[in-house]
Amino acid sequence: GMLRNDFISRLITKLELALLRSPLDLDFLDFAFRQELYLWDALSRHVHISQECMQALREFHRLVKIHIEEAEDRIHHTEIESGAGSQGRPRYNIEKERLEHLLELNMSVESIARFLCVSSSTVKRRMREYRLYSRQRYTDATDQELDQAVQRIKIEMPTAGYRMVKGRLLSMGMHIQWRRVMASMHRVDSLVILSRLAGLNCIVRRTYSVRGPLSLWHVDTNHKLIRYNMVLFGAVDGYSRKGDLEAFVEGWNNHPLRTERNRTPEQLWHTGMMLHPINQPENLE
């Protein structure tokens, strides 16, 4: 009873902090709910958990994912060429060969969508049109075979997490979905996962947001230069930093770095030595 109450209090506190973020970070909510669902699912194997509570968590997580998908569908900017369709908005032209290449790299649909600057729904529609399936890229292994492989990995690396286990499986020639890896680890080593999730306060990258000019400053005291008697203090306004970075990116993209006649640095050095030779000092005995 005490353990269950502690987990409920932890859940309420975590969700309150997530909902108080301004602006609302849906990616953080998605991560928080996924982590809590794994935690509560593992806890339910050892402590009685109300099914209504689990169902409420799953429903809330489902609503968050729906909002994320709707936000992705509102993306209008894209680097993919668009053409006139039969009706509705212009059609994004994604070549079959390009999509096949990205799938061969074992990229997820969400990663491909972000890479192409289109929504996940657009990528899924093109995959259906070209009869491409991401599932066929995964290894066809039963749950028992997967559990045996995960068990061997956990014997080698007892503290390995989801990402390390998935990478080890990939090195063994087994490309398995994330959900299957997580489910297998819960079946094989649920107590260790429970202690990791409860004890490790996972740090989630937050969305960078600044209210206005001069409200947030980043200061660098350059302590590594003090040993050389150089005392420098640098500061940058967090609000204007975004504009500066955008100007830098635009300038970099429009004016890429090039060398004279596309020569390598070594060729440029030899050319410079021939045009402007440097007198070699005489060897002194």
Q: How confident is the model at residue 76 (pLDDT cuts 50, 70, 90)?
A: very low
Within 8 A by CB and 6+ apart from 32, the residues are: 14, 15, 18, 204
In whole angstroms, give the CA distance from residue 53 to residue 39: 13
Query: Bigger pLDDT: 149 or 226?
Result: 149
pLDDT score of 75: 44
Span 20-43, average pLDDT: 74
In whole angstroms, give the CA distance from residue 184 to residue 147: 6
Domain positions in the chain: 1-74, 90-137, 139-201, 217-249
Name the residue type at position 140. Answer: D
pTM here is 0.34
Averaged confidence pLDDT in the chain: 75
In whole angstroms, give the CA distance from residue 29 to residue 83: 36
Cis peptide before 256 (omega within 30 of 0): no
pLDDT digit string, tens, across residues 188-215: 877 666 666 555 555 555 666 777 777 7
Q: Which of 7-11, 37-41, 81-85, 223-227 has the lowest mean pLDDT?
A: 81-85
